[in-house]
Chains A and B, each alone.
Chain A
Amino acid sequence: MNCRSEALEVSVEGRQVDEAMLALLHTILLHRSTGKFHYKKEGTYSIGTVGTQDIDCDFIDFSFVRVSSDELDRAIRKAVGEFKDAMGNGMDGMGQISLEFYQKKKSRWPFSDECIPWEVWSIKVNVVNLANEQERQICREKVGEKLGEKVINIVEVINRHEYLPKMPTQSEVDNVFDTSLKDVQPYLYKITFQITDTLGTSVSTTMRRLIKDTLAL
């Protein structure tokens, strides 16, 4: 609970799904990434640079800016691709993809490290079927506009002065940032998705909760 949650909702055509998702996820990540940290001796550090690049969408009248890191892009594309596969191609449907920023907390021996989310972005997607080319044209522009609004939303939310994990010392940097990429350093994140049919908690989380609850009685 102790985490902010932001919800976005878009309606797109089947083939626009991945571009729309990429646009939103990349926009969020652009603002949640920093350059690589270079730690120096006296506990200080300097921050490397972050490159950005414009991406034009093929199926939507829209371009967005993303961090120019191929590794990050690949990771996100992979997640979005899985999401799209799970949605099933071309059919009506609803799904939700969520981008969760978390930090790790080292715990004592009997427990594994906890991942505590501090911000969750959930993007709901409605897939619509369109009858003819004309509608597709309209949709192309409409979706572009909508995405533009969403991007502004995102920026507004991010500009609010709200909780962010504190800048870590060298030993703790892995608990806050994803340091596996070599050109940028986003906050630790996790992309998960749900398709409408399976909305609701998965079996494993239910089990975990059950055990925890019985223990906490």
Chain B
Amino acid sequence: MAAHFDTEYQRLEASYSDSPPGEENLLVHIPDGNKSPWHHIENLDLFFQRVYNLHQKNGFTCMLLGEVFELVQLLFVVGFTVFLANCVDYDILFANKFVNHTDSSKVTLPDAFLPVDVCGASIRDNVAVMFVLMISGVFWLHRLIKFIYNVCCYWEIRSFYTNALKMSMAELPYFTWQEVQARIVEIQKEHQICIHKKELTELDIYHRILRFKNYMVAMVNKSLLPVRFRPPLLGESVFYTRGLKYNFELIFFWGPGSLFESEWSLKPQYKRGGNRLELADKLASRILWIGIANLLLCPVVLVWQILYAFFSYTEVIKREPGSLGARCWSLYGRCYLRHFNELDHELMSRLSKGYKASSRYMNCFLSPLLTVVAKNVAFFAGSLLAVLIALTIYDEDVLAVEHVLSSITLLGVCITVCRSFIPDKHLVYCPEQLLRLILAHIHYMPDHWQGNAHRYETRDQFSQLFQYKAVFILEELTSPLVTPFILIFSLRRKSLEIIDFFRNFTVEVVGVGDTCSFAQMDIRQHGHPAWMSEGKTEASIYQQAEDGKTELSLMHFAITNPQWQPPTETTHFISQLKERVQRETTGDRQTLTSLSGSEPRSLIANFLAGPPSLASLHLGRDGSLTDHGPVGVNDGASALRSLSVSSTRGSCSSAHRSAGHASSASRAMPGSSTDARTASSGSSVWEGQLTSLVLSEYASTEMSIHALYIHELHKQQSGGELSRHTWHRQDSDDSSDSVTEEGGSGGGNPNPRNLIPRSHTFPISTPISTPGPIPSSNSGPNPDRGTTPGQEVTPLQSNSQRRYGGNTDSVGPGGRVVRSARVPMGGWAEEGRGGRHPDTVPEEGSEDDMPPNTHKVT
């Protein structure tokens, strides 16, 4: 051994010994110098976050201005409140006291102000005011220091943008984040921002920006955080406010003694299972202390919240009183609906797209009782108001009568409120379809919503995600009071689970540090067998992400970052899914096409689902993408054209919406079909623009389709939730039964919610690789459209029926036929259903082994 080392070292020595300490004929080196200051950045997490923030805030100047105004606003809020409270003589304003002016009898505003020394004294004497002033002073100073610090930091980032990324601040708002990201990946090769790797991937950047958010999403997904409560009287409710979120983050991620020792690494003792109990105790006591601190600071925070809410919302309420009745996505909803590795702007755009449909959905549930009351109140208030207004018009002195102006205002508000309870006469609501439309954007929903869209329970649960603005403000206001108790009584009890969570679900990734393992989006580790990853996942129930989060997140990430190269297994999953989706949507389009001629009603029903229309659009573009060439586009176009024509008859609001899409697309189609060769032209069909924004638009549509598809498949896999209570189309129920087990192999389904032990009753194990479009049936004449690729016609059109079967009532006969053709499986169906819908029997496993035509009826 030793000899071996010696030889190595000797050789080195030899090379050194012969270089003389001379001058001229030495080797001369040229330093490469650190021309760029961007190599080897110390805190990449912070760095990327700042790069992202600067991009989101549209550049340095905008951000600077915004922050300056915020500071000024703070000063103003505090100053103005104090002024109103102490320096105004309200007696003069209300004319209870007369001012004796020498020259004129008019009361001016300055008359109402108290002299400076008087009001100064009154402020000094008032302890509470001094208290408020001091708190705000400290707070403001903190903000100021932070602001200065931020300016310095962001100046650095600004020069990173201009020098390294070669993007000037002026044009920054017109770059998408994907472009910025691509440049960062590009310059890593040159500058070595991160020293661990030669190349950065998109996922690395996302991981760093979203490290803690991913943890939060995962914790909400695994229902670890105590945000659901059952207070008496209120029923099950969700309480998750900014204050609470702040405290959670303080405890887990960055506060003193938190689980993380730096932004990128969990403390080593938390990674070992050995003394978990001890650590849990420690965490529990820390939570207790933080809870107590919260309790002590509660008055301060409360005062602040009230002031803040007052000044930010009063003006809005005055301007449009309806805004309190408007809804917004709750904080919990944002956490629940967020994909792993989804940046803020992606989430927001997705949710905003779903906003309209969501509020329409919520509006379906106006209570008839309230409507009756509201109508009458509005009538009486309206008549009073009309009289008052008429009088005012006649002679404006009416306004000078005491309380006339205020009653006019109040009556106006009253009518506005009442009107919000009165549904629009000309709208027909189809909750099931609306919910599907929502799903296309929000991508997640609990299983039991499907088919129960019209129920109050579903509505209530949805309102947890999508709450009234007023409720939101109210929750924020009560948050300082409630948060300490949640921390002390609920969270503390979970400390052991939390410790276990962080230990089990933290992985160290080279070049990224410790991240949440869910965020790796590894199907094998965290896939859920009921969500497409059957047979691929090795996760235990504890490890499975709920609601198909892993699968959907993976799809979402792959679609939004097409450059990203996932590991091979994942690539396989993605491509397989995409292929399947494409095939299914093709079929769907076929159905639509075939149906459109014969039976408008069914078409509408089918179309109402929203997704099919999107799907066919998608196909139109996808066809061109995958080099089906113009054929695909023409196909899509014709399908769409036919749709848009007949669907206009639909009275359903969602139909209008979809029709709008469809018709615009079909108008654009013919023109572009000539150059429908490239992806960009495919997208140009959509918006008529060749920008990456369009591509992202395209991506979001694609993601919607995938999300719907995955949900649909999940629904079928877990035994087919019925659209039994769809009001408009009772007869369509059957069709939704005609769901199929796809790839029904691979051992029992461990999903605790739908325990369907499929394996033993299902000897047929279907290879997933042949995506199992199972021709259930098809009704309907099939007006053969010449443009269709022939071999796809028969199998695909039929299975699409099944895919979106729940929404097509024309399938009625077909569905029934399927039922009869089904292998009797009553046993497991009952068992699996858990008696929720005891009368429905799910579909047979796979009919891959049968020629599709055998099932074709009529």
Return the contact of A215 from the options B39, B145, B196 (Cβ within 8 A): B145
B566 to chain A: closest CB distance in Å?
24
Residues on B with beta carbons closer than 8 Å to the beta carbon of A189: none
A-B contact pairs, 29 of them (CB 8 A): A2-B44, A2-B193, A40-B28, A44-B28, A44-B30, A46-B28, A47-B29, A49-B16, A49-B19, A52-B12, A52-B16, A65-B12, A103-B40, A108-B152, A118-B195, A145-B1, A151-B5, A163-B192, A163-B195, A166-B34, A167-B31, A169-B33, A210-B256, A213-B255, A214-B142, A214-B146, A215-B145, A215-B150, A216-B149
The CA of A110 and the CA of B152, in the complex, are separated in Å by 8
How many residues on chain B are close to A (CB under 8 Å)?
Answer: 52
Q: Are A172 and B152 in contact (CB under 8 A)?
A: no
A217 proximal to B (CB < 8 A): yes
Q: Are B2 and A4 in contact (CB under 8 A)?
A: no
A181 to chain B: closest CB distance in Å?
16
Q: Are A116 and B40 in contact (CB under 8 A)?
A: yes
9-residue interface stretch from B261-269, B681-689, B740-748: B261-269
Q: Are B44 and A166 in contact (CB under 8 A)?
A: no
A190 to chain B: closest CB distance in Å?
15
Return the contact of A162 from the options B19, B26, B30, B195 (Cβ within 8 A): B195
The CA of A167 and the CA of B142, in the complex, are separated in Å by 41
A59 to chain B: closest CB distance in Å?
16
Return the contact of A217 from the options B30, B146, B262 (Cβ within 8 A): B146
A63 proximal to B (CB < 8 A): yes
Residues on B with beta carbons closer than 8 Å to the beta carbon of A214: 142, 146
Q: Considering only CB atoms, which chain B residue lies closest to A103 in the complex?
A: B40
Q: Are B263 and A118 in contact (CB under 8 A)?
A: no
Q: Are A2 and B149 in contact (CB under 8 A)?
A: no
Q: Are A4 and B29 in contact (CB under 8 A)?
A: no
Return the contact of A49 from the options B12, B21, B39, B46 (Cβ within 8 A): B21
> Which residues in window 21-66 of B have CB below 8 A to A?
21, 26-34, 37, 39-46
**Given A1-B264, A214-B142, are A166 and B39 neighbors across the interface (CB < 8 Å)?**
yes
A29 to chain B: closest CB distance in Å?
14
Additional 20 contacts, C-beta under 8 A, given A46-B27, A165-B40, A167-B33:
A1-B262, A2-B43, A2-B194, A3-B195, A44-B28, A45-B29, A46-B26, A47-B27, A49-B19, A52-B9, A52-B13, A52-B16, A148-B1, A166-B31, A166-B34, A166-B39, A167-B31, A169-B31, A169-B34, A213-B255
> Which residues in window 31-59 of A have CB below 8 A to B?
40, 43-52, 54
The CA of A54 and the CA of B26, in the complex, are separated in Å by 27
**Given A3-B195, A44-B29, A209-B262, are A172 and B34 neighbors across the interface (CB < 8 Å)?**
yes
B513 proximal to A (CB < 8 A): yes
Residues on A with beta carbons closer than 8 Å to the beta carbon of B485: none
Residues on A with beta carbons closer than 8 Å to the beta carbon of B212: none
Q: Considering only CB atoms, which chain B residue lies closest to A40 in the complex?
A: B28
Q: Are B5 and A148 in contact (CB under 8 A)?
A: yes
Q: Are A148 and B263 in contact (CB under 8 A)?
A: no
The CA of A41 and the CA of B195, in the complex, are separated in Å by 31
What 3 A-B pairs are tightest by C-beta distance, nearest first?
Answer: A163-B195, A1-B264, A46-B26
Q: Are A65 and B265 in contact (CB under 8 A)?
A: no
A118 to chain B: closest CB distance in Å?
6
B573 proximal to A (CB < 8 A): no
The CA of A62 and the CA of B3, in the complex, are separated in Å by 11
Residues on A with beta carbons closer than 8 Å to the beta carbon of B192: 163
B254 proximal to A (CB < 8 A): yes
Q: Are A2 and B40 in contact (CB under 8 A)?
A: yes
> Which residues in window 134-181 of A have CB below 8 A to B?
144-145, 148, 151, 155, 162-163, 165-170, 172, 175
Q: Are A215 and B33 in contact (CB under 8 A)?
A: no
A114 proximal to B (CB < 8 A): yes
Residues on B with beta carbons closer than 8 Å to the beta carbon of A162: 195
Return the contact of A2 from the options B33, B41, B155 (Cβ within 8 A): B41
Residues on A with beta carbons closer than 8 Å to the beta carbon of B267: 200
A196 proximal to B (CB < 8 A): no
**Given A52-B16, A111-B152, A145-B1, are A105 and B37 neighbors across the interface (CB < 8 Å)?**
yes
Q: Are A215 and B16 in contact (CB under 8 A)?
A: no
The CA of A121 and the CA of B142, in the complex, are separated in Å by 38
B482 to chain A: closest CB distance in Å?
22
A135 to chain B: closest CB distance in Å?
21
Q: Considering only CB atoms, which chain B residue lies closest to A110 in the complex?
A: B152
**Given A50-B16, A210-B256, are A4 and B142 neighbors across the interface (CB < 8 Å)?**
no
A204 proximal to B (CB < 8 A): no
The CA of A46 and the CA of B30, in the complex, are separated in Å by 9
A129 proximal to B (CB < 8 A): no
A192 proximal to B (CB < 8 A): no
The CA of A131 and the CA of B26, in the complex, are separated in Å by 57
Q: Considering only CB atoms, which chain B residue lies closest to A115 in the complex?
A: B42
Residues on A with beta carbons closer than 8 Å to the beta carbon of B256: 206, 210
The CA of A210 and the CA of B262, in the complex, are separated in Å by 11
> Which residues in window 175-217 of A have CB below 8 A to B?
175, 200-201, 206, 209-210, 213-217
The CA of A107 and the CA of B142, in the complex, are separated in Å by 23
Return the contact of B265 from the options A1, A40, A114 (Cβ within 8 A): A1
Q: Are A172 and B33 in contact (CB under 8 A)?
A: yes
Residues on A with beta carbons closer than 8 Å to the beta carbon of B21: 48-49
Residues on B with beta carbons closer than 8 Å to the beta carbon of A61: 2
Residues on B with beta carbons closer than 8 Å to the beta carbon of A210: 256
Residues on B with beta carbons closer than 8 Å to the beta carbon of A65: 9, 12
The CA of A111 and the CA of B46, in the complex, are separated in Å by 16
Q: Considering only CB atoms, which chain A residue lies closest to B47 in the complex?
A: A2
Q: Are A167 and B32 in contact (CB under 8 A)?
A: yes
Q: Are B29 and A167 in contact (CB under 8 A)?
A: yes
Q: Are B29 and A118 in contact (CB under 8 A)?
A: no
Q: Are B262 and A43 in contact (CB under 8 A)?
A: no
Return the contact of A1 from the options B2, B29, B263 (Cβ within 8 A): B263
